[in-house]
Structure 1
Amino acid sequence: MRAGLAFLVAGYVLSQFYRAFLAVLSPVLGAEIGATAGDLALSSGIWFLVFAVMQMPVGGALDRIGPRLTASVLLAFGGGGGALVFALAQGPGAVHLAMALIGVGCSPVLMASYYIFARVYSPAVFGTLAGAIIGAGSLGNIAGAAPLAWLVELAGWRETLFGLAAVTILVALALWIFVRDPERVVAPETGHGSILDLLRIPGLWAILLLMAVAYAPAAAIRGLWAGPYLASVFGSDALAIGRATLVMALAMVAGNFAYGPLDRIFRTRKWVVFWGNALGAACLGVLAFWPASGFWSATALLAALGLFGSSYPAIMAHGRSFFPPHLVGRGVTFLNMFGIGGAGILQFASGRFHRAMAEGATTAEAPFAALFAFFLVPLLIGLVLYLFSRDSVS
């Protein structure tokens, strides 16, 4: 099981990389295949939405056939195949297709890990384990910043994508060999259960609604908008963008590890999630009001947003505490569908919103101030609705 989990972490490293690498590739893709910031916003949004749509079939597959087959097959054909399509891309359309395939490939990896955690380990340590695997997997987020910029400059972006395709297929093969499926659980009388059973859980809707908006700001800004923002407002080149996004990525790693044990320290899941996201909202507010305060102050605010916005494992642990054993697969993927789907929808909308704000803007920072406010408003609404959720104590 340990070897299997180690390679699931490796798969999640790839998932984090693929969701964040477009920010660094944006200059070279614009120059070589004519992909604009709006095109890449669409590509990134496609990744998130395809990933989200896949969560329900992935959840059913985890409950029925187990994590080994689910994760290895989808990662090989979706992730490896998508990276090959990206490497051969001649225009934005091919990038859209590649990101859709990669979304399919990445969709089961984290949930396969969570399924194993929920079935094998105590519920009290689920949040810590969930945060640890995201923190470790966030090495992909780091690799998609300055190291990717250096590798692309050294070898070229197409060669880099061919290499990534090979690595993805090798990790999928290792999942096939080393992952072990936990013993199946069948619910008495109701078979495998259904989504309707999840929706009957009191207080879950408030958790789902915050999940839909809490992950989006840090994910979208780190994965896409940090590069255009720093380039347009401060004139940053690819290496400076790589350094700034690396700082934000490191803060997100730290945030994932930090959130994990807090529910056991403070004996509450709800208020750890609430106040962490409230601080993230404060960072967005400062960026919205003072977007041109300086490169390093902007970098510090982006890092703080990444730190406080990494509440995903804590929200997942809050929701997981209400799931019965026979609905663990569907439950964690249902939560993940809201998190990734919300990020995808806001990612789609952010491209159009930014274009609309850029038309007639008198300063370079004005469209980005509006963009930060665009992510802030739904987060504030989600926090208000989250107050109606039921707490659970670790």
Structure 2
Amino acid sequence: MRISALPFVLLVWANGISAFVVKHHQTRSSALAATLESQPQQRSSQQYRPVRPVFVVGEVPAAMGASLALNCFQVLTGQMQIPADQRGSPPQQPVSLFNANSIDKLTENIGLYSNTEPILHVFVGATGDGVGILRDPEVRAGISYLGVQPSPWDTQGPLVSLETAQMYSPTLKEVLSNLSPRNNNNSPGQPVVFLTMELSLHLALLNGNVLPKSTANQDSFHVLMPEGGSIVVNYLYDTKSFGMGTDPLSCKTKETVISTPPTFSTAKRSSSSAAAYTALRGNGMDEISSAAVAAACATMLGDDAARATSISWSTVEKACQLARHIRQYGAVDNPGALRKQYTAYGYK
């Protein structure tokens, strides 16, 4: 991917590249079954669907994360091979970057590609910044998959205040409830939602008892850890009982910890990881593999993602190798991991 000098929009589309074929995303993430494969020749006879385009409303690190993730996706699912000499650059991926002042262009481009089941990735602020984009009926009607991340610039750090958590809660509830297929009579224009947030915000939402409950189109949270890696968590609410069964701190959970080489998480890396996760999930990769590849992409890009203008074959190869390692050795089921973090952060 090469970054254009255009002030508002980056628009680069793949040329003749095909990708992993999946059925339309069902209401449960378990319907997604892509795996990280290392021998693409074994799948050469399979027919693949084009990569779903990704529209990012944000900054360059997010676009770079999505682009690297799609390159890794094609290598890991067997549609693209890294050349032995690693000369040249990988194919340009269908990633478009917009800023908050170019929404008209965003709407126009989403409309042009609505038949490709496009993916939209946005950042939302504590005061609801960014949610207006999602309320636009033309945007909602045009996208099939939606990735949302509370702004990492105001949710990083050791603690997020209760006030900030309470401000974010209605925004996230709107994203997960008002935009969900179940609450809109399964309207074909309602997107499937993937939500990524910082650990500090997630714990603050738990502490304030204002964590939005998962809905039919969003059954897990992708929670970014401060030292790198993430936790993919599902809260298994017991709706038939009162008290313990409906409290996220007390109910059963399904949690998978994605461990990476120790690093210092920054807003840029968080943006890269979140957008990469959205791009992978929207293109059919399961949530654990998506979290592993996203962590690898963010690690490889580091803080240079904001200054990068292209992605090399070497970067793609290293990201794929790291993703395979993380998926095989660094993904561990660990129910109660968030409760341990909750206590470690000083909450009671």
TM over 0.5, yes or no?
no
Q: Which has the higher contact order (CA 8 A, sep 6+)?
A: 1
Between Structure 1 and Structure 2, the one with more helix by share is: 1
Q: TM-score, normalised by structure 2?
A: 0.31
